[in-house]
A and B are shown apart, each in its own frame.
Chain A
Amino acid sequence: SQQGEEDPQALSIQEGENATMNCSYKTSINNLQWYRQNSGRGLVHLILIRSNEREKHSGRLRVTLDTSKKSSSLLITASRAADTASYFCATDVGAQKLVFGQGTRLTINP
């Protein structure tokens, strides 16, 4: 099975609400990253959290990391229609590569 698994696979909320996505992984990591992919586009890096960090903020994004539970969450506050996209977590497990999960499809309804 995959290193990173996002939950839920799909999420639909109303504009203005908060969206929370979770990522679980299996092995120890150097860092964990979140990416966004709009339909038909490439992935865009959102935020990186190192293994010795527990929380990080960037604008409306808040990422937490719990290395004891091997999990991370991405919170998007005050969601907007433009946040509709797929969100992927990716783990740096060494070996000079990132391992991506299958993503959470987020739909923001106006």
Chain B
Amino acid sequence: DTAVSQTPKYLVTQMGNDKSIKCEQNLGHDTMYWYKQDSKKFLKIMFSYNNKELIINETVPNRFSPKSPDKAHLNLHINSLELGDSAVYFCASTNQGGGVYEQYFGPGTRLTVT
């Protein structure tokens, strides 16, 4: 069984469009993350949710809006897509337990904005 899954795996869209990426984890973890990995492989945290509550919002344009309907799901909606949004977006999960321990990553969603 897939521990952390994301859909879609690939997303090609035009500038100005709105799109969503979905993430689900079946590990029973209490914390989920969105990361953005650019073309130079630099991985940067965007958001973190703990038990459906927003914990981290890392200076991300407000065109990006995360939503956590329950602690097993974390979705990312992006409005008015720009060329610079092209990247691979990873979802991850962990149990916080008072510290930051190993994170389990999804397979990534490669977003291409044309």
Main secondary structure of the interface of A (DSSP, over half): strand
Residues in B neighbouring A98, C-beta threshold 8 A: 45, 100, 103
Total interface residues on A, using CB and 8 Å?
25
Contact of A42 among B4, B55, B100 (CB under 8 A): B4
Q: Mark A50-92, 1 if CB is under 8 A from B, else 0.
A: 0000000000000000000000000000000000001010001
Question: Closest residue to A2 on the B side, CB-wise?
Answer: B42
> How far apart are the CA atoms of A44 and B107 in the complex, in Å?
10
Decide if B56 is an interface residue (CB 8 Å cutoff): yes
In the complex, how many angstroms separate the beta carbon of B67 from the nearest chain A beta carbon? 19
Question: Whole-angstrom distance between the alpha carbons of A58 and B92 in the complex?
Answer: 23
Q: Take A45-B102, A97-B100 as given contacts and tell me if A86 and B41 are in contact as well, using a CB distance cutoff of 8 Å.
A: yes
List residues of chain B with CB under 8 Å of any chain A CB. 4, 31, 33, 35, 40-45, 48, 50, 55-56, 90, 92, 96, 99-108
